[in-house]
Amino acid sequence: MVIIGALVSRSLLPTTLVGVSMWAQREGVGLFNAIKMDVVESPGSGPEHIAVIALCILLLDMVIYWQHRFFHTIPILWRFHKMHHADSHVDTTTGLRFHPVEIAISLAIKAAAVVLFGIPAVAIVIFEVALNGFALFNHANIRLPQKWDEKLSWLLITQRVHRIHHSQDKAESNSNFGFSVSCWDRLFNSFTPRAHYSDETLPVGQKDVPARKENTGVLALLLQPFNEHSSK
Ligand SMILES: [Zn+2]
């Protein structure tokens, strides 16, 4: 699935998001390019430059939060995202299990955000590395002591908090949409700090897509969004 996803994103945007960013900068398109900030025109290491990069990374992260939320609430998008949630064991590989159509839509949304805000290339590189790193981190099958977890989840989406997002309970899985920092879920009122079940006993996955052999082959995963049950 990773290989297919990589092929899809490379063939759709041959120049990558960094290429889109450089085009926007050249043409003066996008918020930060339009206001002609020195920091974007002549990148350096001054405090304004670092502030713009940090702001752009936060903006991209908020865009991804809303993208994830829409993938849950818009039925046609949920069909594709459900393949990610059908994993009956949440572990690091779950963080790599995304349908190529979801990857393509996400790429288009990110490209639109890059053009709209005029996001500098360096912010995209940092964000993409962080996003992928956080996806592997928060899907990992590890557990911090509850006390530590609760403290850390004030800032970050921990494994326990993200597992709540993979709960079979719809109300729980329609929360905790963040990938890295937990502030978006708190700000937009979608944070669930504790699930109904304990982390050890929390049922994850999708009841109507059990982990049987016929549901887990590459072709079955690619075709899963087109199954009758997939909009549920
Ligand atoms: Zn999700």
How far, in Å, from the CA of 101 to the mean position of ligand 1? 15
Query: Residue 47 has what pLDDT?
Result: 63
More confident residue, 36 or 189: 189
**72: helix, coil or strand?**
helix
> 81 C-alpha vs ligand 1 centroid, how far in Å?
7
Query: Distance, CA 102 to ligand 1 centroid (Å)?
Result: 11
Task: Find out whether 20 and 13 touch, Cβ atoms under 8 Å.
Answer: yes
pLDDT at 25 over 90: no
Confidence of residue 29 (pLDDT cuts 50, 70, 90): confident
181 backbone dihedrals φ, ψ, rounded to 5°: -90, 150
Q: In the prediction, which pLDDT does 81 show? A: 95
Distance from the CA of 175 to the center of ligand 1, in angstroms? 9
**Considering the chain, what percentage of its residues have pLDDT values greater than 70?**
93
Q: What is the mean pLDDT of residues 197-221?
A: 86
Please give the structure tokens belonging to residue 16: 């990558």
pTM over 0.75: yes
CA 84 to ligand 1 center in whole angstroms: 7
Polymer length of the chain: 232
For residues 147-163, average pLDDT: 94
Distance in Å, CA 103 to ligand 1 centroid: 13
pLDDT band (50, 70, 90) for residue 27: confident
Cα–Cα distances in angstroms (integers) from residue 119 to residues 100, 128, 161, 175, in the given order: 25, 13, 30, 28
pLDDT at position 13 is 64
Average pLDDT over residues 23-52: 71
> Which residues, listed in sequence order, are joined to residue 156 by a DSSP beta bridge?
181
Name the residue among 100, 89, 85, 95 with its Cα closest to residue 209.
85
Q: What pLDDT sits at residue 207? A: 86
- The distance of Cα 27 from the centroid of its chain, to the nearest Å, equals 29
- In three-state secondary structure terms, 75 is helix
How far does Cα 30 stand from its chain's mean position? 23
Residue 156: name the closest of 186, 129, 118, 128 by CA: 186
User: In angstroms, rounded to a whole number, what is the distance separating the alpha carbons of residues 231 and 206?
Assistant: 12
Q: Find out whether 99 and 81 touch, Cβ atoms under 8 Å.
A: yes
Highest mean predicted confidence (pLDDT) among 121-130, 172-181, 197-206: 172-181
Residues whose CB falls within 8 Å of the CB of residue 55, separated by 6 or more in sequence, listed in order: none
pLDDT at 171: 94
Mean pLDDT taken over the chain? 87
Going from the Cα of 140 to the center of ligand 1, the distance in angstroms, rounded, reads 15
Average pLDDT rounded to a whole number, residues 110-123: 90
CB 160 within 8 A of CB 175: no
**At 42, is the pLDDT very low, low, confident or very high (cuts 50, 70, 90)?**
low
Phi, psi of 197 (to 5 degrees): -90, 160
Residue 74: which residues within 8 A CB-CB, separation 6 or more? none
Distance 22 CA to ligand 1 centre (A): 31
Per-residue confidence (pLDDT) for residue 59, from 0 to 100: 94
Question: What pLDDT, on the 0 to 100 scale, is given for residue 6?
Answer: 81
Q: What pLDDT sits at residue 211? A: 79
- Secondary structure percentages of the chain, helix, strand, coil, to 5: 65, 0, 35
Q: How far apart are CA 27 and CA 230, in angstroms?
A: 42
Average pLDDT over residues 224-231: 80
Q: Is the pLDDT of residue 20 over 80?
A: yes
Q: How far apart are CA 126 and CA 107, in angstroms?
A: 16
* Torsion of Cα atoms, 205 then 208 then 212 then 217, to 10°: -80
Going from the Cα of 10 to the center of ligand 1, the distance in angstroms, rounded, reads: 23
Q: How far is the CA of 209 from the centre of ligand 1 (A)?
A: 15
Distance 94 CA to ligand 1 centre (A): 11
Q: How confident is the model at residue 46 (pLDDT cuts 50, 70, 90)?
A: low
Q: Which of 73-87, 141-155, 207-221 has the weakest average pLDDT?
A: 207-221
